[in-house]
């Protein structure tokens, strides 16, 4: 049973526009959420995180929103740049440092 799901395998946006990546989870015990960017055969690069006691966290072009009642989080990238093209993973943490990952969304930003 997948506890963290990213239902969109891919997303294509135009440079300068907003990219919105979504993530749903089922385990209400998750209390910390993270977003990572990943290129093939490389390790994930940390982007931004949010604690379950917050509903929004911003860092530059990246904003993460958390809706606990809906068990849903989203990552907004504004403005999108071609260098943002990669696979994005959301991850949830509830015990020590054991992350449960979603399946990833491939973002393509067109110039």
Q: How far is Cα 39 from Cα 4, in angstroms, rounded to an integer?
A: 20
The reply on whether position 44 binds other proteins by CB under 8 A is yes
How is residue 37 written in tokens?
């960017």
Find all residues with CB under 8 Å of 100, minimum gap 6, and list them. 3, 4, 25, 27, 30, 91, 92, 93, 94
Please identify which residue in 92, 101, 105, 109 interacts with other proteins, judged by CB under 8 A: 101
Please identify which residue in 69, 70, 97, 111 interacts with other proteins, judged by CB under 8 A: 97
The reply on whether position 99 binds other proteins by CB under 8 A is yes
Q: Which is nearer to other proteins, 6 or 80 (CB)?
A: 6
Instruction: Give yes or no for a contact between 4 and 51, defined as CB atoms under 8 angstroms apart.
Output: no
The reply on whether position 60 binds other proteins by CB under 8 A is no
The reply on whether position 36 binds other proteins by CB under 8 A is yes
Q: Which is nearer to other proteins, 13 or 23 (CB)?
A: 23
Give, as ranges, the residues between 12 and 31 that touch other proteins (CB under 8 A): 31
């Amino acid at each position: 049973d997948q506890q963290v799901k990213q239902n969109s395998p891919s997303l294509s946006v135009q440079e300068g526009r907003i990219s919105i990546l979504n993530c749903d989870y089922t385990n209400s015990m998750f209390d910390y959420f993270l977003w990572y960017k990943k290129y093939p055969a490389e390790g994930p690069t940390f982007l931004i995180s949010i604690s379950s006691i917050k509903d929004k966290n911003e860092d530059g072009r990246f904003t993460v929103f958390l809706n606990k009642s809906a068990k849903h989080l989203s990552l907004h990238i504004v403005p999108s740049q071609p260098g943002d093209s990669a696979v994005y993973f959301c991850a949830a943490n509830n015990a020590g440092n054991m992350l449960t990952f979603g399946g990833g969304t491939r973002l393509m930003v067109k110039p």
